Structure 1
Amino acid sequence: MAGRSPEEPANGSSISDEELRAFLQDSERGAASAPEEPSARARMVTERLRRQAEPEGWRTGPARREPDGRAGRRRTLWSALGVALALGAVVVSLKPSLLPGDPLGSAQPQAAAGSPLPAETAAPTGAPAPVAEQVPTLDQPFAGSPALRWADGAAGVVPPAAKAVGSASEERVAQALELTRKLLVGANLDPATLRGENPTAALSVLDPKQPDLLDDLTTSLRSPDKEHDPVLLFSRFDPEEVRVVGDVVKTRGHMTVKKGEHAGVAVHADYTFVYPVARADGSTEVTRTIVRRVLDLELPDPAHYDVTPGRLVLVRYDQELSNSACDVYDGFLHPQFDSAEPTGPAPTGPATDPYDRSQALEHNTTESCGTVSRV
């Protein structure tokens, strides 16, 4: 084993035996006499013992040495930054909203990205803004859809406040609006209707005295074909093919009222319904079918016309069925899934945004089947 120099301590300490003995002797002499200034050696050893007793980084870290005087310049820089930060703290204390994101919550409240939209009272001026593309799932079936902020189901069918129009009282107007609401809910949101069952609630508000209407609707439900297609008025899915995901259908739209042509109340309704669906075979793939319906209805005055009191006359109904198979007339909507072969012929019409409610919905006389820009 290599030898050890006299200055090197035996126990691995940085203080030699000679220094330690000298320190003890100085201490003994000092204890027997009056206090006096410690010798230079004693001060040196005491300081070295004190530094050894303190762990590195205690209170202050080990000094960092940098060449070319950079340590001094860094201290100057940090001092300047400290002054700037102090001034900034004063400014923020006077106006906290200057902080990014306003973490103190002192700015004016803003609507969150996922917060519900206020009820629609008139046609919007444009399509909903684009949203981040996301894949819908069973847990989040409206992910990546503008409908995420729409109302849930019947909560989105909100009639306006009733006011008298023409000779119709406020009560008659309120009745017409409530019947319209019942028709929309029964035809597009009733779980039984969505499962392909008979839309009894919706049919119950229509006047049986309206020529041929109920007969045509009954025929379309019993024996659907191209001339009698129930999806033109009712949202229906084949339960053996697809199922609605969850218990929420997103809804957005509005109603307007004016004086009717038959001494009654005329109601115009324009609503869009978004249905998240999955295949009935247990697949977890989710897509959406979007249905927009525009209806004109009247509640005539039974004192002047041969009508059934408390029943609506359906004057006109148009629809836009998006992400559903074209030219299939079996009485059901057929959603298109990315992983499945398309049902029916390929779309040939122009691409449209099914969430755009700013454009008037005109009756499609060309019978072309278009594509959708988003679902």
Structure 2
Amino acid sequence: MTDRPSEAPGSGSGEGGGPSISDEVWEKFVQDSERDIHASAPKEPSARARVVTERLRQQDARGAQPEGWRTGPAWREMDGRAARRRRLWAIFGVPLAIAVLVVANKPSLLLGDDPGSGTGVPEAVAASPLPAETAAPTAAPSEMAPVTPTLERPFAGSPSARWADGAAGIVLPKATAVSSLSKAEVEQALRQTKALLVDANLDPATLRGERPETALGVIDPLQTEMIDLLDTALRKPDKEHDPLWMFSRYDPAELRLAGDVVKTRGRMTFKADREDSVVVHADFTFVYPFVRTDGSTEVSRTIVRRVLDLEVSNPVEYEVTPGKLYVVSYDQEIGNSACDTYDGYLHPQFSTDEQAGPLPTGPTMDPYDRSEGIDQERTDDCGVVSRT
């Protein structure tokens, strides 16, 4: 955070004759100033930008249209409800410019102060784990001071540094009887939902591209359209059958995890839906620190948010498989992964990568902001993440 300027004597009330400025007002002033400086500063195009500009100019001259970058939606209709996908590319120049401004105004951040808050609080205190999430966040996590992630500290500079590791971040609510379902039946549905989330997003074999048998095994086999879609996506991924809609995967020939930890945060709730049915709602974000397998040590994070609604019904009243879950809807936002690549793998952007294709034209979003639901009114333009 930028240091406050000295207050002019006699300019207002308060101790020492200076004006009294609240922390909230000062923080807003700093954020607005940094944004205005960034917006108004003259920019010299990078070599990459000049190449892209020239290529687009040549395409216009030929009347050619470049491939689009997507933020979704890729819609799949299931019983009147929709599943969507959104991917957002990382543009490193935006957070880098902000980082330069912050460090320039507070160089002590480079001298051992806490990278999480820039307040000088010892790092061990600032990095203490957050308590489990019990309600929807009301705002995005605070901006972090600029810290480059490393193999030893892959979550440095990320709000997820204080999140739980892996499955520990998926905390089940206390089960109660709902409708005609007993407490034990609801508890089983909650445990199965966690099993699906863990296998689909955290299991090392699934992440390396292997078949997620546990996740598939909790889905009601009577939901044949859903099973067929996922089977096809896993066998032969393409634009209309993308395993990333449900599973997090990377190509082990291209990437590996930096360490063995994936950060997780979110919450799970349940409620009665129709008579004799309960819907489990899961909203979780996973942060994956990747490093390339070419010997590079640069770490790049991909952030995946998944929102699922899974239904369990009384088999006496409905034609369902006892002990299995029915996928009502699934929704995703993937931050920092190539938008127009449909090979079934996550492809994070590294700062040293060459830009392959047109620059993103969609909106900028914070992939750590879980205070609102996933936007249902979206264009087909690839968006940009404000941080990773």
Could you tell me the TM-score, scaled by structure 2's length?
Answer: 0.67
- Counterpart position of 1:210: 223
Of the three residues 133, 139, 160, the one matched with 2:173 is 160
Name which one, 1 or 2, has greater alpha-carbon Rg.
Answer: 1
1:137 aligns with 2:150: yes
- Counterpart position of 1:53: none
Is the alpha carbon distance of 1:342 and 1:299 closer, same or farther for their aligned partners in structure 2, counting shifts above 3 Å? farther
1:283 aligns with 2:283: no
Separation (CA, whole Å) in 1 of partners of 2:270 and 2:169:
18
Native 8 Å contact 1:328 1:344 kept in 2: no
Separation (CA, whole Å) in 2 of partners of 1:279 and 1:371:
22
Letter of the 1:320 counterpart: E
Give how far 1:172 is off: 1.1
Native 8 Å contact 1:291 1:322 kept in 2: yes
Is the alpha carbon distance of 1:343 and 1:186 closer, same or farther for their aligned partners in structure 2, counting shifts above 3 Å? farther
Separation (CA, whole Å) in 2 of partners of 1:293 and 1:314:
13
- Counterpart position of 1:303: 316
Letter of the 2:226 counterpart: L
Give how far 1:264 is off: 2.1
Could you tell me the TM-score, scaled by structure 1's length?
Answer: 0.69
Letter of the 2:278 counterpart: V
Give how far 1:364 is off: 5.8
Secondary structure at 1:240 match in 2: coil
Give how far 1:112 is off: 2.2
Separation (CA, whole Å) in 1 of partners of 2:171 and 2:130:
13
- Counterpart position of 2:189: 176
1:322 aligns with 2:357: no
Cα RMSD (Å): 1.3
Q: Give the length in aligned residue pairs.
A: 265
Separation (CA, whole Å) in 2 of partners of 1:328 and 1:235:
14
Separation (CA, whole Å) in 1 of partners of 2:357 and 2:277:
43
Secondary structure at 1:213 match in 2: helix
Give how far 1:369 is off: 1.3
Native 8 Å contact 1:220 1:229 kept in 2: yes
Is the alpha carbon distance of 1:320 and 1:364 closer, same or farther for their aligned partners in structure 2, counting shifts above 3 Å? farther
1:219 aligns with 2:267: no
Of the three residues 333, 336, 347, the one matched with 2:360 is 347
- Counterpart position of 1:107: none
Q: How do 1:257-276 residues align onto structure 2 when only pairs under 5 Å count?
A: 257-261=270-274, 263-276=276-289
Letter of the 2:258 counterpart: V
- Counterpart position of 2:248: 235
Secondary structure at 2:383 match in 1: coil
Q: How do 1:1-375 residues align onto structure 2 when only pairs under 5 Å count?
A: 112-261=125-274, 263-343=276-356, 345-363=358-376, 365-375=378-388
Higher RCO, 1 vs 2 (CA within 8 Å, ≥6 residues apart): 2
- Counterpart position of 2:47: none
CA deviations on 1:227-286 (whole Å, 9 max, x unpaired) are 111101100001111111111000000011101326122101000000000011121000
Give aligned-pair identity as a percent.
63
Secondary structure at 1:212 match in 2: helix
Separation (CA, whole Å) in 2 of partners of 1:281 and 1:262:
55
Secondary structure at 2:385 match in 1: coil
Task: Indicate the larger mover: 138-147 or 341-350.
Answer: 341-350
Separation (CA, whole Å) in 1 of partners of 2:376 and 2:257:
27
Is the alpha carbon distance of 1:192 and 1:345 closer, same or farther for their aligned partners in structure 2, counting shifts above 3 Å? farther
Separation (CA, whole Å) in 2 of partners of 1:185 and 1:364:
29
Instruction: Could you tell me which runs of 5 or more consecutive residues in structure 1 were left unpaired when the two chains were aligned.
Output: 1-110
Secondary structure at 1:175 match in 2: helix
Secondary structure at 2:309 match in 1: strand
* Structure 1 stretches of at least 4 aligned residues deviating more than 2 Å after TM superposition: 342-346, 362-368
- Counterpart position of 2:59: none
CA deviations on 1:203-228 (whole Å, 9 max, x unpaired) are 11111101311011000111111111
Instruction: Could you tell me which runs of 5 or more consecutive residues in structure 2 were left unpaired when the two chains were aligned.
Output: 1-123
Secondary structure at 2:295 match in 1: coil
